[in-house]
Chains A and B, each alone.
Chain A
């Protein structure tokens, strides 16, 4: 049905208008800003592609790639663990278990708590002196395993990843569960009638049929991995310590654009260049995602 211009203007236009002002315009203007050098006050100075050259080849290279590889590492570890563990737990839940609703609700629970709060609680639990983790390790006689989880540069980022998984796993369990429940029971019944074992049912029916879901989740995780910010900020501060070992593009951008003690450089233009690069990495993946969603719909 064709829509009348009047209704379009009244019902669709306001949303589009706001969306343009608050999303599209800032986005374009951010790309524009990446060609300037600007400390926030005073005149902007046009510098062409200098910001990008500094980031990719110049004196900002070290800071940038340190953070960039952390984002990539984050993506790889988180997608392997969250998708596979999410699948396994969903499978366990889907096998007509007692207390299904309770387990499902408990594992999704951290998703409704603010990331800042998650950082705060885990900061306490992982505290080297009073934290529950180390006290427990000492209690069972493994005091040599009690480590400064957030203070050791070799451990800190993995610890943050673990906390992140604790927070988000429930979402992946739920999505995989929806996907497993969505499989027609007939397929599985037919498999059993043909004498297939549980293991064969999982391998030949459930895994292939949930694979598309896993695929899209990994695409989404790639996109989300580039916007990691709050947890690092809450656990390690804007300095992404110790010694930048937990720095990601989100915190690097924040330091560069809005300042903070010990920033290598403070420049809004440089900050804008960082996020422009972030977006360039995300862009192809989001295209694939949008096309996948559109194709599944047909």
Chain B
């Protein structure tokens, strides 16, 4: 092996360690019991594994006024599943219409959609709250589902548009000659080959909706409907909660996207490298 090759491995391993260190800290601290959490030994490996911190972070401790994260965890689940599915479907339909059909105004609609990706979230927060209040969706999980579905449209449309551009138009023409209409073509030709596209879009949407903080913070002021990221920030910000419980809460928050990434990340990477990023 050449020197440069060895050097490359050393650099990459250095990066890998640097990247995994926070994960190590998250894992070790959250498996410690309170007795073991001292400032001096913060970074040591736990001597005996304990799920005590997780139980406290999940259930809370009413006697000390500590709210558990279980409700917020479920809020995030109820929120992320419908919002991911809805935004993926809307993106798929939009992508299909924009690549395979012609209609007046198509040239305006796509740039307008892309535009939505660039509007800083902050810029629409004030009127968004007003719209949600008028539609009685403010401060509720359906409200958050709505907001995330709609704000997902630009990115999901972009990814599906890139993806559907690779489906030959002849295939559509052939289906049309066979008598398939707009919906038929989508159902029989487009949708069945959409799975790699759906994999990328749904993983992307799942992680970004789960990890969202700003919308949750502004749209759900009531703790009982807050998503887990907002609840974690409150938990982590309080001085009377022990490190190990904060860390366990952090791990609970990170778990769903991490699991999705660990088990489905292959499809995501494959899809991204195969051209979903070609618009970038």
User: Which residues of A line the B interface, CB within 8 A?
Assistant: 1-4, 7-8, 11-12, 14-16, 18-19, 21-27, 29-30, 33, 89, 92-93, 95, 97, 99, 102-118, 120-122, 124-125, 129-130, 132, 135, 166, 174-175, 177-178, 181-182, 213, 216-217, 220, 223, 226-227, 229-230, 233-234, 250, 253-254, 257-258, 268, 271-272, 275-276, 278-279, 282, 286, 289-290, 293-294, 296-297
Contact = CB atoms under 8 A, between A and B. Distances in A.
B20 A276 contact: no
Interface string B228-248: 011011001000000100100
Given A116-B229, A229-B214, A230-B214, A132 B122 contact: no
Interface string B47-72: 00000000000000000000000000
A26 B272 contact: no
A104 B16 CA distance: 9
A29 B129 CA distance: 12
Contact of A1 (B39, B109, B176, B213): B176
A20 to B, nearest CB: 10
Given A120-B250, A132-B43, A174-B273, A276 B123 contact: yes
B120 A174 contact: no
A25 B232 contact: no
Contacts of B21: 125, 132
Contacts of A16: 109
A178 B277 contact: yes
B12 A97 contact: yes
Given A226-B120, A290-B111, A33 B126 contact: yes
Interface of A is mostly: helix
Interface of B is mostly: helix
B12 A4 contact: no
A48 to B, nearest CB: 19
B126 A109 contact: no
Given A132-B25, A293-B114, A12 B93 contact: yes
Nearest to A130: B39
Contacts of A290: 111, 114-115
Given A26-B131, A104-B269, A217 B280 contact: yes
Interface in B124-174: 124-128, 130-131, 146-147, 149-151, 153, 165, 172
Given A19-B153, A113-B254, A114-B229, A181 B273 contact: yes
A84 B174 CA distance: 46
Interface stretch (B77-85, B99-107, B191-199): B99-107
Interface of B: 8-9, 11-12, 15-16, 18-23, 25-26, 39, 42-43, 90, 93-94, 97, 100-103, 109, 111-116, 118-128, 130-131, 146-147, 149-151, 153, 165, 172, 176, 181-183, 207, 210-211, 213-214, 218, 229-230, 232-233, 236, 243, 246, 250, 253-254, 257-258, 260-261, 265, 269, 272-273, 275, 277-280
A185 to B, nearest CB: 15
Contacts of A14: 90
Given A15-B90, A130-B39, A105 B265 contact: yes
A174 B280 CA distance: 11
A113 B214 contact: no
Given A132-B25, A175-B280, A181-B273, A257 B125 contact: yes
